[in-house]
Amino acid sequence: MVASSDVKQPGSEKIASEGPRDNQGGDQETDLATTDLAAMDAGSLWHAMTQHQPFSQKPPKCIKRGVGCYVTDDKGVEYFDGVSGLWCVNVGYGRQELADVAYAQMLNLSYSPLTMSHEPGIRLAHKLTSLLGYESKVFFSTSGSEANETAFKIARQYHAQTSPAGAGARYKFISRYRGYHGNTMGALSATAQAERKLKYEPLVPGFLHVHPPYAYRFAHGPAHDLTDKSAEAAYTASLLQELEMTIQYEGAASVAAVIIEPIISGGGVIVPPDGYLQGVREICDRTGILLIFDEVVNGFGRTGKMFGHQHWGVTPDIITFAKGLTSGYMPLAATVVKQPIFEAFLDEPGSGSHFRHISTYGGTPAATAVALQNIEILEREHLVERAAEMGDYLLHRLQRLLTHPQVGDVRGKGLLLGVELVTDKASKTPLDGASVAAVIQFCMAQQVIIGRNTNTIPGFTNVLIICPPLVITYEEADRLADTLYQAVFA
């Protein structure tokens, strides 16, 4: 595996590939203001998830343009974006029609709150409920965290209004270790990644965690040995028993909801065994607990189905969306509840039963119009099917990595893929952070961006993350896989 000191830094490389550019915007000037910008950046901008101290030697890359699967920095260096920004640019960068829709909508109606109504909001809500295929209601907000906060408030109020015990009866939430559900205090409380919580605790009371369906580490036999179905079934049963016992020990009547991602994304790309989601659904039904699916990453084609849960035929009571809903072109999120939940909020005006919750920028006309057009692109270009096809291909190409002694597992569904690095296959000890970072830096030096589960579980930030835009071609998938192969075998 490549050592961190061997990594060449990019800077003087020429643009490597033409890529699918149809909208360069004539932005070809050498940037005379680059130095000023770098000084302003250092002087005023606080970057996410980043230690600023090394910036004096190595400032952050300033990205100027994005087209298709590619982004270009202010030095003119073009990168293949293997993580779709932050897992969100599903239809790829630079889509003229999304910009046109936003432009036209802003001129026509720039803002209107959803205490009233507007056409793109109505049409998008209708589209989402049609895609889900069951009667439901959509509440808009602006981010994945906010969509999950909204889900938590709906779940508590729903129980307060339907349970004989009244308010406060069911207030607890159960999530899984390694899961990420957002950065706000409630969503972070549901997040079960110690490094994301460090120095922000104590968080919101009432959030509990159980183990994730992490077959590679905890089932018997290697996770990719799909023939060992009995070990997998026993493992699934043990996870379901743990959930059931947790509910029993806590008192089912105190638990409002279970929140899970169908496929854990930021926590290390963890695909559940068959039967797991069905089992969780069955336990929730039996105990009167609501089931929330966080599809902030899984949704809108990422896993090779329109929604991640569709792989297992299990529907949630509440579902949350963001990211791929607009492919990152607009800040928009949605919390969708099944009709009977919505109906628990119906009563006479003045009864206090309505959902007393509002998001100023949730569901603006332009954001909802862009989301509709984004879904139209996903459907017109068959990008969900493409994610399934390209995901199978890329997974197959990445499985070549398993011949390396430090590649423990290669897994995923659709274009949500992970590569787990270990010191050796027998012990499965996670590879150290510097060695994992060196693989990423090697790829970056080849102008290929891949991700990693940074700042999640102490000692377990060893999963490489690959989730390119759904428009990726076979040639681009080959480049991605070959670059990673070179990085690992360097």
Ligand X SMILES: Cc1ncc(COP(=O)(O)O)c(C=O)c1O
Residues that bind ligand X (CB under 6 A): 86, 143-145, 148, 180-183, 261, 265-266, 294, 296-297, 322
Query: Which candidate, 285, 204, 206, 207, places its Cα nearest to that of 240?
Result: 285
Identify any residues that bridge with 174 across adjacent strands, giving them in sequence order: 208, 258
For β-strands 407-413 and 63-67, DSSP reports them as unpaired
Q: What is the largest CA-CA distance in the chain?
A: 69
Q: Which residues lie across from 70 on neighbouring strands?
A: 67, 80
The SS3 assignment for 259 reads: strand
Peptide bond into 316 cis (omega under 30): no
Nearer CB in complex with ligand X: 212/266:
266
Structure tokens given for 101: 């829709």
In the complex, minimum distance from the CB of residue 470 to ligand X, in angstroms, rounded to a whole number: 17
- What are φ and ψ of residue 153, in 5° steps? -65, -40
Amino acid at 379: E
Q: Which tokens go with 135?
A: 């009667």
Q: Are 182 and 148 in contact (CB under 8 A)?
A: yes
Q: In whole angstroms, how close is the CB of 89 to ligand X at the nearest point?
A: 13
Please check whether residue 471 is in contact with residue 91, taking contact to mean a CB–CB distance below 8 angstroms.
Answer: yes
Q: How far is the CB of 184 from ligand X (least distance, A)?
A: 7
* CB within 8 Å of 186: residues ≥ 6 apart: 148, 149, 152, 204
Q: CB-wise, 232 or 295, nearer to ligand X?
A: 295
Q: How far is the CB of 145 from ligand X (least distance, A)?
A: 3
Residue type, 334: A
Q: Which lies closer to ligand X via its Cβ, residue 322 or residue 488?
A: 322
Minimum CB–partner distance for residue 320 and ligand X (Å): 7
Residue among 180 and 207 whose Cβ is closer to ligand X: 180
Q: Which is nearer to ligand X, 86 or 231 (CB)?
A: 86
Q: Which is nearer to ligand X, 19 or 308 (CB)?
A: 308
Question: 145 or 441, CB closer to ligand X?
Answer: 145
Nearest distance from residue 291's CB to ligand X, in Å? 15
Alpha-helical segments (H) within 327-473: 339-343, 365-380, 383-398, 433-445
Count of CB atoms within 10 A of residue 385's CB? 15
Buried b (16+ CB within 10 A) or exposed e, 214-223: bbbbebeebb
Q: With respect to ligand X, which residue has the nearer C-beta, 219 or 296?
A: 296
CB of 322 to ligand X, least distance (A): 5
At its nearest, how many Å lie between ligand X and the CB of residue 416? 11
Compare residues 259 and 488 and give the one whose CB is closer to ligand X: 259
**C-beta separation of 292 from 258 below 8 A:** yes
For residue 264, the minimal CB distance to ligand X (Å) is 8
User: What 3-state DSSP class applies to 96?
Assistant: helix
- What are the C-alpha distances in Å from 243 to residues 210, 233, 252, 284? 6, 16, 11, 10
Residue 127 structure tokens = 């589209």
Nearest position to ligand X, beta carbon: 144
Q: Provide the minimum distance between the beta carbon of 259 and ligand X in the complex, in angstroms, as a whole number.
A: 9
Nearer to ligand X, 148 or 189 (CB): 148
